Amino acid sequence: MFDLLLRRARLVDDTLTDIAIQDGKIAALGEISAPSRKNH
């Protein structure tokens, strides 16, 4: 379980992706289906 999951975040190259945060660090990028404590 990730601490925070950002859905459809816009990257600097203008693409949209999911970003998972765990322990204050980026843990995963891409299409993420794992649960998280918070979704934004």
Summarize pLDDT for 1-40 with one digit per residue, the tens.
Answer: 899 999 999 999 999 999 999 999 999 999 998 877 877 7
Residue 10 is predicted with a pLDDT of 97
* pTM for this predicted structure: 0.81
What is the reported pLDDT for 11? 95
pLDDT of residue 16: 98
Q: Cα–Cα–Cα angle for 29, 31, 33, nearest 5°? A: 110
Residues whose CB falls within 8 Å of the CB of residue 22, separated by 6 or more in sequence, listed in order = 2, 3
**Whole-number Cα distances in Å, 5 to 8, 27, 36:** 10, 10, 6
Q: Which domain holds residue 15?
A: 2-39
Q: Say how many domains are in the chain.
A: 1
What's the pLDDT score for residue 36?
79
SS3 35: coil
pLDDT of residue 38: 77
CA distances in angstroms from 25 to 8, 13, 20, listed in the order given: 18, 21, 8
Length of the chain: 40
